Amino acid sequence: MIQDCQEIRQSLGAWLDRELGASDAADVQLHLQSCASCAAEKARLERIDSSLKSMLEKEASQVAFEPFWAGVRQRIAEERPWHDRIIDWARGFLTPPRLAWAVPAVIILLLGIFSLEKFFPGWPPVFGQTNLAAVEHIDGHGFNVALLREAKTKTTVIWLFENQESEDETSAEPASSEQAF
Amino acid sequence: MKLPRSLLRASRLFSLGVALYSSPLGAAEPAPQPVQLKIGTIMATNQADCLDSQLAKMKQQLEVIKYRCYRLVREDVQKAAWQANSVFEIVGGRSLVIMPAEYRNNRIALKVRLLEGEKPIVDTTVRFPNRGNFLLGGPAHEGGVLILSISAMAQ
């Protein structure tokens, strides 16, 4: 229950703004009827409120609100860019609990994809592995060496050509190196 | 800091998944059983059109080389240990020394040395798919050339 003048004056603003509860508002009302000093304070606050209100209304009448509201209506009506919509969607979708599930799920999915090679050799082909042989090192010990890789038949051929001197000594027949390739 | 219950649950499940993955799947690739090496010695000539019936499966591969006649002279199969040399006798006093070097990503790496007597003709390292093959050719022999089909199969 509000009783003394100090409390009443502290509550006057709220009372004028109709923010007090019914009981407190009744106390203030009753006190104002019997206390001239608080009633004078109430009148002072009402005058300040009234002059502020009239001044704001005067100023507001000079402000052109129509362009402001037109801008608001235009922003509401206009099509938003796709990236803004995606960002908004992502903000709504990527909530912490969903992220907590999504991140491990993506990692497990990636581990699974990279494990496929163990169960399905040669798949997926996107990893660039081919069925062709790869010659990592070759030393012909004086022989000329040709390497042929043919993707269509998955054929890799290492072909040795004897040097001219040794060719003269051998009895290799028409199946010469030129004919071979 | 108190984590949301769903976050804790997701973290636990993720840890469990990673643990399960890393135990059987993520472990180092086990050393495979001995590798089976097969060497086909093929004689290629231009004397007439012919294809040995035993080479029918290799017809397309041999056509890349463009001789007219192919005859399988011999075929040798050996089980070879990894990192150990296996020796194959080749016609004409030649020999082929093969060492299975590595098995990774379903591909086999072979170190291959072709010798003529004691003299090395070629040294090479070739990596190819398990159960695949490659051809090594060129040495002259009895009016034609020899082509070696070298294939490997890890068990």
DSSP calls for A55-98? HHHHHHHHS-HHHHHHHHHHHHHSPPPHHHHHHHHHHHH--HHH
pLDDT for A169 equals: 45
Cα gap A32→A5, rounded to integer Å:
9
pLDDT score, position A170:
43
What is the overall mean pLDDT for chain B? 85
A26-46: pLDDT as tens digits: 999 999 999 999 999 999 999
CB B77 within 8 A of CB B37: yes
More confident residue, B26 or A118: A118
Instruction: Say which range, A108-122, B97-111, B120-134, has the weakest mean pLDDT.
Output: A108-122
Q: Confidence band (pLDDT; 50, 70, 90) for B4? A: low
- In this prediction, residue B20 carries a pLDDT of 64
**Residue B152 confidence (pLDDT):** 94
Enumerate the β-bridge partners of residue B79: B36
Stretch B100-122: mean pLDDT, rounded? 90
Q: Using the predicted structure, report yes or no on whether residue B112 has a pLDDT greater than 90.
A: yes
Name every chain B residue with its beta carbon within 8 A of the beta carbon of A161.
138
Which residues from A are below 8 Å from B134, CB to CB?
133, 155-158
**Closest-approach residue (CA) in chain A for B6:** A97
Q: What is the pLDDT of residue A149?
A: 87
B23 touches chain A (CB under 8 A): no
Which residues have CB under 8 Å from A33's CB, separation 6+?
A: A39
Greater model confidence, A148 or B12: A148
Closest of A179, A147, A141 to residue A162, by C-alpha:
A141
Q: What is the pLDDT of residue B148?
A: 94
Query: From the centroid of its chain, how far is CA A152?
Result: 45
Mean pLDDT of the B75-104 span: 92
**Which residue of chain A is at minimal alpha-carbon distance from B123?**
A139
Phi, psi of B98, deg, nearest 5: -125, 135
Q: Is the dihedral angle over the CA atoms A163, A164, A165, A169 positive or is it negative?
A: positive
What is the bridge-based pairing of β-strands B133-141 and A155-161? Answer: parallel
What pLDDT is stored for residue B25 in this prediction? Answer: 52
B45 or A170, higher pLDDT: B45
Q: Which is more confidently placed, B9 or B141?
A: B141
Q: Within chain A, which residues score under 50 in pLDDT?
A: 126-129, 166-181
Closest-CA residue of chain B to A140? B122
Q: What pLDDT, on a 0 to 100 scale, did the predictor assign at position B124?
A: 93
**Average pLDDT of span B84-88:** 94
Closest chain B C-alpha to A142 CA, distance in angstroms: 8
Both tokens assigned to A124: 């997926």
pLDDT at B92 over 90: no
Higher model confidence: residue B36 or residue A140?
A: B36
Residue A111 CA to residue A118 CA, distance in Å, equals 12
Least confident of B25-39, B68-82, B95-109, B135-149: B25-39
- CB-nearest to A160 from B17, B128, B138 is B138
Mean pLDDT across the stretch B27-40? 75
